[in-house]
Amino acid sequence: MLEPAHIHFKIHKPFGMLSQMHSNDDKESRNKRFLSELYNFPEGIMPIGRLDEKSEGLLLLTTDGKLSDQINRSGVEKEYYVQLDGEITNEAIKLLQHGVEIGFHGKKYTTKKTSVHGLSIPPILPDPDKKLRIGRHRPTSWISITITEGKFRQVRKMTAAVGFPTLRLIRIRIGNINLKELSPGKVIPVKELSF
């Protein structure tokens, strides 16, 4: 008997939404937004990896648990545009490239070498959520950072470790799948996910 075909989606997760379908806790549900409000997803759908509530951008969903696990463990590249508090220095970029020490599960963890470069022209993106008070008092700068691991809030912890806290974080690529012109909250079915 043939296994049923798996279904995949790519979405632009908006700011202020959790990377889960719904909550098991009624209290939490009242104040939070979940992926299920974006689309009538099929039974068994799950996000591949996560973006925290304040992060935006590309999120992949699948009904294929094996594929999800494989992608999470295989070191697929994930690229982000990051708006930072302050004008980042070349020295700070070099530190990020070589790996920095962050806290993870109460222990110290040194991140792997990564690709980081400054963006002299801010990327063209949808306007930030009004809750993000960006650039009101201080200058900001943008970097592109590509990681192959995905520790909890890793990019935010990395930029804070070099003295430039993250103000806005947008994932624009996972492997060869790009966010492109997908607007916040948009959901597109994808025929297959291969990396």
pLDDT exceeds 70 at position 27: no
Distance CA 50, CA 18 (A): 9
CB 128 within 8 A of CB 142: no
107/141 same-domain check: yes
pLDDT in tens, 77-135: 999 999 999 999 999 999 999 999 998 888 999 999 999 999 999 999 988 888 887 76
3-state secondary structure 67-113: HHHHHHHCCCCEEEEEEEECCCCHHHHHHHHHCCEEEECCEEEECCC
> Taking the model in full, what pTM does it have?
0.91
Q: What confidence score (pLDDT) does residue 151 get?
A: 78
Higher pLDDT, 66 or 35: 35
3-state secondary structure 1-20: CCCCCCCEEEEEECCCECCC
* Residue 52 annotated among the catalytic residues of the structure: yes
1 assigned to some structural domain? no
Q: What confidence score (pLDDT) does residue 195 get?
A: 67
Could you list the residue range(s) of the whole structural domain that residue 25 is in? 8-73+176-190
25/104 same-domain check: no
What CATH number corresponds to the domain at position 157?
Answer: 3.30.70.1560
67/92 same-domain check: no
pLDDT in tens, 141-187: 999 999 998 777 899 999 999 999 999 999 999 999 999 989 999 99
43/94 same-domain check: no
Active-site hit among 52, 64, 69, 127: 52
Q: What confidence score (pLDDT) does residue 93 get?
A: 97
Q: What confidence score (pLDDT) does residue 26 get?
A: 63
114/170 same-domain check: yes
Q: What confidence score (pLDDT) does residue 29 get?
A: 61
99/133 same-domain check: yes
96/165 same-domain check: yes
